[in-house]
Amino acid sequence: MRTGIAALPLHTGHAPRWLFERMARLGRAILLVLVEEFGPQEVLRRLADPFWFQALGCVLGFDWHSSGVTTTVCGALKEGLRDVSYEIGLFVAGGKGRISRQTPQEILRVAERIGLPADPLIYASRMAAKVDSAAVQDGYQLYHHTFLFTREGAWAVIQQGMNPMTRYARRYHWLSDQVLSFVCEPHLAVCCDRKGKVLNLVAQESEKAREVITDLSREEPGRIEREWEKVLSLHLPPHHEVRMEEIHPKRLSSILLQTYEAQPPTFESLLGLQGVGPRTLRALALIAELIYGTPPSFRDPARFSFAHGGKDGHPYPVDRRTYDQSIAVLEHAVMRSRTSPGEKDGALRRLMNFLQGAAFLTSSGP
């Protein structure tokens, strides 16, 4: 399942070099202790938790609500683990902008070296991006994609989209061991300060729409064009989120020829086809609803907001009682670790020594 979505206000600027270098060192130390204490799989689980990831960003030096936390923290972890990845069995691929498009090559390079099948990992990376950019149309355009995986083949995705109109970013988290389906209710937890109406083709209530959309994609394009003419003569309700002016029949006919030739058996295979994007799915969803009576969902998957508030009172002051409860839960989780008391004490002692050194460097200035 996708484990969460976080919506964050956009900020300008970037982390200064002196801070980024410290973030890479501290992030590396924290992850090394976690790997030793709990194993690489637990690191993936925590990074896939949007609350834990946000807290990590705060620990590494970012404001709680800064959109830059996603790209900078992922970049710092990738840099910090660069020379120890093969030793601990935890790998980071992808990043921001053009670097994100190198993710398949980075996965393949590591997989060949450690003898791990690359195709399932590359497919997971691609489908996570395709779902969040086409199957869930929420107004956010993906520009960051980080793919983390272990030598056993477990993986997590942290990716982010931008909405330039609202100046907000939305972060999406995925975790492999809970993926039952890429296209039906992939959310486990969603963190977002703002909700809105979106075209959500991975909602449970969109199941029938997914079936009809897949059937339509296998039809001869001429028949779809004739059905589209029927749609053009209908009066659309004002609340409908699929706009007629966004759909171009000639462009739709071209992509439908490809889907007709491919004959995708499922919605997931249709979504994975090259060239099938938001406009194609919007057009087919509109036809499916108005002609065949199978409406898709317009429910935003966002469910939760941030847990503790902010130190400066935004969006609200820190709730100390909730904060203390969170600390108690985390401390209880640490005590349930399967490692022996000696190993646990040694790891915590090494982390404390490192944090004391980092605190000294920070107090000394850049």
- Host H or E run for residue 6: strand 2-9
- Domain positions in the chain are 2-194+336-361, 204-292
Give the chain's radius of gyration (CA, Å).
Answer: 23
Sign of CA dihedral 58, 42, 181, 85: positive
Helix (H, G, I), strand (E, B) or coil at 111: helix
Task: Output the pLDDT for position 193.
Answer: 57
Place of tokens 């996603």: 70
Contact between residue 299 and residue 198 where contact means Cβ atoms under 8 Å apart: yes
Residue in the structure block whose two tokens are 């199941």: 207
Rounded to an integer, the average pLDDT of 193-208 is: 84
Q: Backbone phi, then psi, for 27, in 5-degree steps?
A: -60, -40
330-360 pLDDT, tens digit each: 445 545 554 455 555 654 554 455 444 444 4
Average pLDDT over residues 66-77: 83
Helices 249-262 & 207-217, crossing angle to 10 degrees? 90
pLDDT tens column, 21-57 = 888 888 888 898 899 889 999 999 999 988 788 888 8
Average the pLDDT over each of 192-201, 256-265, 272-281 and give the range with the smallest value.
192-201
Instruction: Please check the confidence at residue 362 and state whether its pLDDT lies above 50.
Output: no
Above 80 in pLDDT, residue 64? Answer: no
Q: What is the pTM of this model?
A: 0.76
Nearest Cα residue to 44 out of 159, 181, 180, 176:
176
Given a cut of 60, whether residue 158 has pLDDT beyond it is: yes
192, 304 Cβ separation under 8 angstroms: yes
Which of 201, 196, 87 lies closest to 133, judged by CA?
A: 201
